[in-house]
Structure 1
Amino acid sequence: MRKRDALRVLLALAASLLLCPGVQAATPEVVKPVQSCTGLLATALSDIGGEGSQVLSARESVKDGVTMCVLEGRLAPAIGFRVSLPVEGWTQRYLQIGCGGLCGRIPEEVGAAEGCVPLKAGGFVIASTDMGHQGMGGEFGRDEALRIDFAHRAVHLTAVAAKKLIRAYYGRAEAFAYFTGCSDGGREALMEAQRYPEDFDGIIAGAAAMNFQVQNGLYHAWQASANTGADGQAILQAARLPLLHQAVLAQCDGLDGLQDGLLSDPRLCHFDSASLQCPVGATSPRSDCLSAAEVDAVRKLYAGPRDPRSGERLIIGGPQYGSELAWAGVFVPRAAGQPIFSGQIALDALRNLSFERNPPESFSLADIHFDQAMLEQLKPLHPLYDATNPDLRAFAAAGGKLILWHGWADPHISPLNTLAYHEALEQFMGKQEAAAFERLYLLPGVYHCADGEGPSLVDFLTPMLAWVEQGQVSQAVLAKQAASRPRSSFGQPGALSPAVEASPAPAKTRARPLYPYPALAALKPGADPDQAASYTAAPARFTASTPAWAGSSLFTPYRAK
């Protein structure tokens, strides 16, 4: 529990919980408003955001049977925010949600909270922000103040403003505050823990774009370049990915102890795409093998760039084995002639955000040299955008709790980034100290923030409530298979994406327990592999740390900019 004033400590001890199935539940203390929704229009916000900051609209709205007081507002200069306050049933909890891509919109979807009862019942005040600009492009990066708003200011000030509005509406402060986000929302989550450790009691960071500078300037730039031929067209296209994926599974499925079409730890796999190369002399494209150019592109996509002189890795790691189907629409176009999305991501960031002074509009991927010098050019703004600082002493001292999670089959952000941060926390804070407030979960076969071949429907919010409010630490979190449904390539509707895509339909319904890293789920002898109760925690089969790379120092303590 955080170190709050005496009243809130008593609330924390007295408040009972309404939790999701599997956790002992009781009826929470409900607090009702002390003034009207429209009365909040008079709440002053200039002390938070500066002159011109205000609540712009206030209205009651019903969603999923819950009546909310919905506020829209602005914090100067251009931070848009929304706060939704339950008219009935508020359980003294505040939840802020992160935004994906480069944001530019106010998100509404709460991720990684599948089936959480108090959330569905309207027990939370919920807030979010567009992070200081409108539109999903990076043009806002031409304004230094808007860069700061995007990096961290908008999320923090939204939290401060929302809490002031909570006090005005209910006549008391929230008892507990939570943040959850994925992709850039995961970066925002970690930024809060690192820069503003008093803002939230519990933080859930999924597939975090924490390594923002390298992620855009080197990872996505390389993925696009590696799959571009001399003619400017993509070498590898989506139609070839099932062949590649099946070859990976044929060699590596089962290395984790279970033959299930999923790689529970892809680091055990040592696949070589040369095994798929067509025989010498093949003159026409074949469906059962890859051309030499395709084999070379696949190797580069897995491996990532290296400095040509030292041979050092320039990124932590590329997409992991088992993620091949998720490459479609990201760095492997779905059809001939389509642009490579990774190239669009990289160029948008490099032209507008990544450097202290923006390059000319003519800047292209051809201008990038994948070497140590390029990494050095990205470092000046590392303290502004990145959220890789492992010094969470202030957050831990305040009683904060942190859940990290990542899909092993994520093509947008390599899960090795999240692993590296987990390792950095243990190294800097100490393993025992880190374990007191942080947990990491890795989801086999799950794509970026959602969906995939593996069970991806998960609720991290309920165990976070139990951990923060009752001191109960979950040893396993249930993940269920999702049915095929449309999603953006950032796993969040409306996020930066070339088109809405659909994840493959799962072969059958299944559920698995997720154990805190490094434990794996092991099937009990003779048990049904589709039932969560059939599994138990097993020791890790891969014990090495993430590989050394040229930017390893980015995951050590630094002074935020």
Structure 2
Amino acid sequence: MRLWQFILANAVVFLSAGVSAAQDMPTPEEAHCMALRGMLISPDEIGEPARRAVVYSADLLKGDQAAGGGFCKVLGGIEPIDPKAPNINFQVNLPLTWNDKIIQYGGGGYDGTLIEAVKNVSFGSDAVQTPLQRGYVTFGSDSGHQSPSVLDGKFLLNNEALANFGGLQIKKTHDAAIAVVSDYYGRKQQKTYIQGNSQGGHESLIAIQRWPADYDGAIVTHPANPFSALQLSGNHLAKAFYRNGGYLSPAKVELLNSAVTKACDKLDGVEDGLISNTAACDATFKIEDLRCASGKDEGDTCLSDTQIAVLKTINTPYKSPVKLQDGVEGFPRWPIFQGGDLYGLWGFGLSPELTNPPTPVANFGLAVLADPLIRYAIVRDPKFDTMTFDPPKYAKRIAEVSKLIDANSADLSAFEKRGGKMLLMHGTIDFAISPYNTVSYYERVVKTMGAENVRGFMRFYLVPGFGHGSGKFIAAWDPLSALENWVEKGKAPENLIVGDAGNDGAGRTRPMCEYPSYPKYKAGATDPNKAENFECAK
């Protein structure tokens, strides 16, 4: 139904009811938005298999959330081929003043919650406008299932829901959103971006690898990719953590962190609570210095041989029993000896006991994340005890799941050739997704495409002290402006600054240093809170 049809139909209704049309008729802006209600999007307009998409509601919201003082909030669903599979619910926000650009938002964890896409990009500074306030159309989805928690994986038992979560929902949501945009504005977008952190970062990598022609730029923050290897690693570490007295109490974790900080904080030129020179820390800190004299657990002032062995396991890459998508062989080590943010996400093991609903799960953040994929997607048994998981027995299924959900390709030439640009960022102490995983992916891309070509379309930054949204330095920056300038004006990012949004940060800033450099305090400087007193060093 078009605008004039909507107004005419409603005028007849209002007048027949004896109501003043002038008083109760929607404004033209409201009517234009409401005309989207009931819009049907055919499967021919959606690039991956779907029955159709339907717009459930469209309402004009006023206020300063969007350019022009308001936006049309559109809610809809993409219907599956399998009637037993859930819909992909989506939200598209259409600002009254459009800049002819759109940006897709990714989710988190196992998704299942509708991404409203009204806030800033991941870790965007509060000092800069949100995309919606800049005039972007913004949109996101629930990835094709509805869950009470981002750790609920029951949906993975359904093949279509699994495939949607594995990436198909990204393309389906993108195409449905474009249909809505074209209908509302009468024209298509000029630029398309995607952004997200964690699972959303993984989804951004999926997007530019599988559908590179759809995107002009991507902001990728601590991506949970390869997703299958991440969860296999978490399960592997959980079993080591709880086996034969390997558990570390919170007091022992603090012992470890204090020792690492004492040994490594000063290696970047200033003692500020941040370990920036991680390479030097590797060579300096020795876990054996914390060994109990007897080799047995003597309390919270030292570590037993078993506990040291577990920590070394965490510091060692995980070898998968089967090659994963695009030949990936496992998952890199974790920053356990570099100040890892061990309590930043669901705890590092707050108790030596396993939780038990409905079957034993390690009380360890990485195991909690691993449990749904193993239980529901690989083994496909809701009652399975994942602490007994033996990966070689499921090698074939692991390979199948990896093919569905991972985005490991190091060949981004299709994205690069169409002019695509990417900003990649990770925190050095992330203990939900290891920063060494992103380092590994970046180095594979460089090896595949060449350093000069990669630098022509990608920048990779490691932020010292930043965890998975937590940590000793809470990153806040403006990646969208940097990406826009690169894509639209050909101005590559230079001299970017990241602020500390944490309560204890005192407004401090640091330079965004391109990997493998780190922010080193300048000799003779007097204020470690200002980025200008640091230089990027290798």
In the other structure, the counterpart of 2:325 is none
Q: Is 1:358–2:380 an aligned residue pair?
A: yes
- Which one of 183, 192, 205 corresponds to residue 168 of structure 1? 183
Say which SS state the counterpart of residue 245 (structure 1) adopts: helix
Shift of 1:427: 1.6
In the other structure, the counterpart of 2:55 is 55
Q: Is 1:273–2:248 an aligned residue pair?
A: no
Q: Is 1:69–2:84 an aligned residue pair?
A: no
User: Structure 2: how far apart are the matches of 1:331 and 1:451?
Assistant: 12
In the other structure, the counterpart of 1:519 is 517
Say which SS state the counterpart of residue 254 (structure 1) adopts: helix
Shift of 1:315: 2.6
1:452–1:134 Cα change, 3 Å: same
Shift of 1:535: 2.3
Q: Retained in 2: the 8 A contact 1:480–1:511?
A: yes
In the other structure, the counterpart of 1:451 is 470
What pairs with 1:303-382 in structure 2 (closer than 5 Å)?
303-305=316-318, 314-327=330-343, 330=346, 332-335=348-351, 337=353, 339-353=363-377, 355=378, 358-359=380-381, 361-368=383-390, 378-382=398-402
Q: Is 1:40–2:20 an aligned residue pair?
A: no
Shift of 1:172: 1.6
What do residues 190-246 of structure 1 show as CA deviations (whole Å, max 9, x unaligned)?
1111100122111111111121111112x1102211211448xx7113333222111
What do residues 352-403 of structure 1 show as CA deviations (whole Å, max 9, x unaligned)?
12x3x6357334222325xx77767522332221111012121111111111
Bigger shift: 291-300 or 173-182? 291-300
State the identity %: 28
Q: Which amino acid aligns with 1:267?
A: A
Shift of 1:63: 5.6
User: Structure 1: how far apart are the matches of 2:247 and 2:296?
Assistant: 17
Say which SS state the counterpart of residue 128 (structure 1) adopts: strand
Q: Retained in 2: the 8 A contact 1:306–1:314?
A: yes
Gapped regions of structure 2 (runs ≥ 5): 1-27, 81-86, 322-327, 356-362
- Which one of 374, 378, 397 corresponds to residue 417 of structure 2? 397
Q: Retained in 1: the 8 A contact 2:331–2:437?
A: no
Bigger shift: 40-49 or 170-179? 40-49
User: Structure 1: how far apart are the matches of 2:103 and 2:318?
Assistant: 39
In the other structure, the counterpart of 2:92 is 83
Shift of 1:143: 1.4
1:306–1:79 Cα change, 3 Å: closer
1:313–1:401 Cα change, 3 Å: closer
1:376–1:247 Cα change, 3 Å: farther
Q: Retained in 1: the 8 A contact 2:103–2:139?
A: yes
- Which one of 222, 246, 261 corresponds to residue 207 of structure 1? 222
What pairs with 1:410-421 in structure 2 (closer than 5 Å)?
410-421=430-441
Say which SS state the counterpart of residue 326 (structure 1) adopts: coil
User: Structure 1: how far apart are the matches of 2:228 and 2:55?
Assistant: 34
Bigger shift: 105-114 or 467-476? 105-114
Say which SS state the counterpart of residue 36 (structure 1) adopts: helix
1:171–1:253 Cα change, 3 Å: same
Say which SS state the counterpart of residue 255 (structure 2) adopts: helix
Q: Which amino acid aligns with 1:295?
A: I
Bigger shift: 272-281 or 322-331? 322-331
Bigger shift: 439-448 or 528-537? 528-537
Q: Which amino acid aligns with 2:239?
A: S
Q: Which amino acid aligns with 2:237?
A: Q
User: Structure 1: how far apart are the matches of 2:335 and 2:95?
Assistant: 41
Q: Which amino acid aligns with 2:37?
A: L
Root-mean-square deviation (Å): 2.8
What do residues 75-119 of structure 1 show as CA deviations (whole Å, max 9, x unaligned)?
1121110001112x3222211110010100112443132133363
Shift of 1:174: 1.5
Q: Retained in 1: the 8 A contact 2:156–2:376?
A: yes
User: Structure 2: how far apart are the matches of 1:113 and 1:360?
Assistant: 38
- Which one of 211, 222, 247 corresponds to residue 259 of structure 2? 247
1:384–1:275 Cα change, 3 Å: same
What pairs with 1:431-450 in structure 2 (closer than 5 Å)?
431-448=451-468, 450=469
1:131–1:307 Cα change, 3 Å: closer
Shift of 1:323: 3.4
What do residues 407-432 of structure 1 show as CA deviations (whole Å, max 9, x unaligned)?
11010111111111111111212221
Shift of 1:257: 4.2
Q: Is 1:223–2:237 an aligned residue pair?
A: yes
Q: Is 1:105–2:113 an aligned residue pair?
A: yes
Q: Retained in 2: the 8 A contact 1:323–1:410?
A: no
Q: Which amino acid aligns with 1:318?
A: W
In the other structure, the counterpart of 1:285 is 299
What do residues 41-80 of structure 1 show as CA deviations (whole Å, max 9, x unaligned)?
2433123354352001111224655422101100112111
User: Structure 1: how far apart are the matches of 2:222 and 2:498?
Assistant: 16
Q: Retained in 2: the 8 A contact 1:222–1:304?
A: no
Q: Retained in 2: the 8 A contact 1:112–1:461?
A: no
Say which SS state the counterpart of residue 71 (structure 1) adopts: strand
1:422–1:45 Cα change, 3 Å: same
What pairs with 1:443-522 in structure 2 (closer than 5 Å)?
443-448=463-468, 450-484=469-503, 505-506=504-505, 508-522=506-520
Paired residues, number: 474
Q: Retained in 2: the 8 A contact 1:455–1:510?
A: no
Q: Retained in 2: the 8 A contact 1:446–1:455?
A: yes
Say which SS state the counterpart of residue 180 (structure 2) adopts: helix
User: Structure 2: how far apart are the matches of 1:367 and 1:91?
Assistant: 51
User: Structure 1: how far apart are the matches of 2:380 and 2:192?
Assistant: 37
In the other structure, the counterpart of 2:429 is 409
1:439–1:97 Cα change, 3 Å: same
What pairs with 1:142-181 in structure 2 (closer than 5 Å)?
142-181=157-196
In the other structure, the counterpart of 2:15 is none
Say which SS state the counterpart of residue 462 (structure 2) adopts: strand
Say which SS state the counterpart of residue 70 (structure 1) adopts: strand
User: Structure 2: how far apart are the matches of 1:328 and 1:34?
Assistant: 44
In the other structure, the counterpart of 1:10 is none
Shift of 1:280: 2.8
In the other structure, the counterpart of 2:359 is none
Shift of 1:444: 0.6
Higher relative contact order (CA 8 A, sep 6+): 1
Q: Which amino acid aligns with 1:61?
A: L
Q: Which amino acid aligns with 2:536?
A: A
1:240–1:60 Cα change, 3 Å: farther
1:283–1:530 Cα change, 3 Å: closer
User: Structure 1: how far apart are the matches of 2:429 and 2:512?
Assistant: 15
Say which SS state the counterpart of residue 139 (structure 2) adopts: strand
Say which SS state the counterpart of residue 37 (structure 1) adopts: helix
What pairs with 1:91-130 in structure 2 (closer than 5 Å)?
91-108=99-116, 109=119, 110-114=121-125, 115-117=127-129, 119=131, 121-130=133-142
